[in-house]
Structure 1
């Protein structure tokens, strides 16, 4: 674990290093659409795009926590109401599926819809049909954000879906590989702890910055 501590300076450094493993000429020529799956992923996508005209969007999703443990994410729902469930945790906590679907509906109505109106003025998530999509995040503890994004985007029948993530647990990488056309990463880590450990600085992304990043050279 210690050898990976602070291996990246910040999101800009991570994006710069990712451009060495992402085929940037294809990224530019084929006009890949960047889809951030978190606030930090949005800033990372901004640095990845650099001077190119590729569009950036944010796929909003919300965690569903175990009823008896508010720090344990057992499922996630996307803005298109796709749900991904961690079956092992649901079984371990003996959680009823009615609870998950009820929480998914509540989170969608109370939180996700408010994000859509605040950041996209009520517009729906852009269609990814026949597009080449690059899902982006700064890291991934469980893979649930990426799995939810994959389920949502794949349902729209894109040409291809790639993932860009600087640091990723080895087991999550193995989980995601069958669903993505390729995964671009810098470090896959066996004993992954939490994403912030691997950066010297992870600046908090506030609401004003989200609006700014989504407003720059976008088709949204």
Structure 2
């Protein structure tokens, strides 16, 4: 159990200290991953960035990822029997959201270069692992040196699905409870993170 995202971030940062002084980029999943990512980035003296990609959910089960979209790329899998119009419409809808988020988050800066870096993808917890798995696949297209997923809490099945991914080199998870129902279940205080808070955290971590 974690008090809040700050508590989770401190514990996760302690686990990640071996990566200090390496060429690291901390990549947080907006928005809940940003308070944790900010603590980790400061501890590792690394830049903090956001993962601007989103999964495309199956039309009959939105939680199940059939691919992922970024502003530049699209990755598809498990699309047999799914109409191409659905994929086109979802891609356009997701890209509109990502464009708005890009405008919000990159007002005064450029995205971090990931090539040849150790990329640590962080969220406040995961239920299925689908979003992080497709994010890792998208990150891998930028040719990083290593892709690490670091999370405070996840069910054992989700951790195994991440460990089985060919796009992820290492998974660090602090707690793997078998009675997992939702991420917020393992936090005493689990508030929504606003875009304003997220932008402020990014700016504070990346002051030259």
Q: Same fold (TM over 0.5)?
A: yes
Which residue does the alignment assign to 1:11? 5
Instruction: Note the C-alpha offset of 1:200.
Output: 0.8
Instruction: Note the C-alpha offset of 1:201.
Output: 0.8
**Does the 8 Å CA contact 2:147/2:169 hold for their aligned counterparts?**
yes
Which of 207, 211, 215 is equivalent to 2:203?
215
Instruction: Note the C-alpha offset of 1:147.
Output: 1.1
Aligned residue for 2:32, secondary structure, equals: helix
**Does the 8 Å CA contact 2:25/2:112 hold for their aligned counterparts?**
no
Which residue does the alignment assign to 1:33? 25
**Does the 8 Å CA contact 1:140/1:195 hold for their aligned counterparts?**
yes
TM-score by length of 2: 0.85
Which of 183, 193, 200 is equivalent to 1:205?
193
TM-score by length of 1: 0.81
Aligned residue for 1:19, secondary structure, equals: helix
**Does the 8 Å CA contact 2:3/2:187 hold for their aligned counterparts?**
yes
- Between stretches 190-199 and 58-67, larger displacement belongs to 58-67
1:106 maps onto 2:98 in alignment: no
Instruction: Note the C-alpha offset of 1:119.
Output: 1.2
- Relative to 1, partners in 2 of residues 1:123 and 1:98: Cα closer, same or farther, differing over 3 Å? farther
- Relative to 1, partners in 2 of residues 1:73 and 1:123: Cα closer, same or farther, differing over 3 Å? farther
> Gaps spanning 5+ residues in structure 2: where?
none
Which residue does the alignment assign to 2:173? 185
**Does the 8 Å CA contact 2:120/2:147 hold for their aligned counterparts?**
yes
**Does the 8 Å CA contact 1:80/1:152 hold for their aligned counterparts?**
no
How many angstroms apart in 1 are the aligned matches of 2:169 and 2:63?
29
How many angstroms apart in 2 are the aligned matches of 1:194 and 1:140?
8
- Relative to 1, partners in 2 of residues 1:186 and 1:101: Cα closer, same or farther, differing over 3 Å? same
> 1:1-220, aligned counterparts within 5 Å?
7-22=1-16, 24=17, 26-50=18-42, 52-67=44-59, 72-75=63-66, 76-83=68-75, 85=77, 87=78, 96-121=82-107, 125-178=111-164, 179-218=167-206
Aligned residue for 2:184, secondary structure, equals: helix
Number of residue-to-residue matches in the alignment: 205
**Does the 8 Å CA contact 1:117/1:123 hold for their aligned counterparts?**
no
> Gaps spanning 5+ residues in structure 1: where?
1-6
How many angstroms apart in 1 are the aligned matches of 2:76 and 2:179?
24
